[in-house]
Chain A
């Protein structure tokens, strides 16, 4: 999310964040990460509740799906707020946590079974995501 990066590549720092722990930029970033994990879990719960869907339009009949959409949108706002005060590279590295939290949530909350093959695959993807994070951040500003 390059909203805070000027065309010259300079980061424009906004005014100080509002007082109070809730408006702390890191609190908001963490909230954003948790919310986007929650969004995925809610979508999963919602889409299994309604069988026989191919395109997910049917899923809109489920409250879980709407909860997921709400979590997604809220997460986006928290993310944008956090980005006003936190350097992009720090934010992006923290956001990689979602790739860990989602499988953890699947295992603990949804009771999915993650075998060794899948676990190894998840770790490899995570390693790849971190490998390309820095150059990709630069590219994303330009795209």
Chain B
């Protein structure tokens, strides 16, 4: 996989995490905030969806789906940046496994 499609995958996964977080926060917030958070969630999810469908038209699903594992890495980094969660050795092992897996798939 070349750089551009990979960038698309990455943006799609980031959008998916952003969308999930917005949806979650929309549920717990008052009427004033709920509308824009819900809208932001829907926009993020729509971007994710269209990027993903576009990618699917070019690659095998069995090739593309493992990249969904990057979702977890995005979430981990988001947590360590915004929540100041520590990146434990345990988490780094997971990151390494997912990256190695994705690297292998991208060469197949």
Contacts and interface: CB of A to CB of B under 8 A. Distances in A.
Contact of A132 (B68, B85, B94): B94
Contact of A102 (B62, B79, B107): B62
Interface string B86-104: 0010110111111111111
Q: Majority SS of interface residues in chain A? A: helix
Contacts of A117: 104-105, 107-108
A134 B91 CA distance: 10
Contacts of A129: 69, 72, 94, 98
Interface in B51-108: 51-57, 60-63, 65-66, 68-69, 72, 75-76, 78-79, 82-83, 85, 88, 90-91, 93-108
A122 B57 contact: no
A90 interface: no
Contacts of A121: 66, 100-108
Q: Interface residues of B toward A: which range?
A: 35 or more
Given A121-B101, A121-B108, A143-B24, A56 B78 contact: no
A23 B13 CA distance: 32
A48 B90 contact: no
B36 interface: no
A15 interface: no
Contacts of A128: 69, 72, 94-101
Given A115-B108, A132-B76, A102 B61 contact: yes
Contacts of B76: 132, 136, 139
A118 interface: yes
Interface of B: 21, 24, 27, 49-57, 60-63, 65-66, 68-69, 72, 75-76, 78-79, 82-83, 85, 88, 90-91, 93-108
Contact of A135 (B55, B88, B97, B101): B88
24 contacts: A40-B61, A46-B53, A47-B54, A53-B53, A56-B57, A102-B65, A103-B62, A103-B65, A106-B61, A112-B60, A112-B62, A114-B108, A115-B108, A120-B101, A120-B104, A121-B107, A122-B62, A125-B98, A125-B102, A127-B97, A129-B72, A132-B91, A139-B76, A143-B75
B101 A127 contact: yes
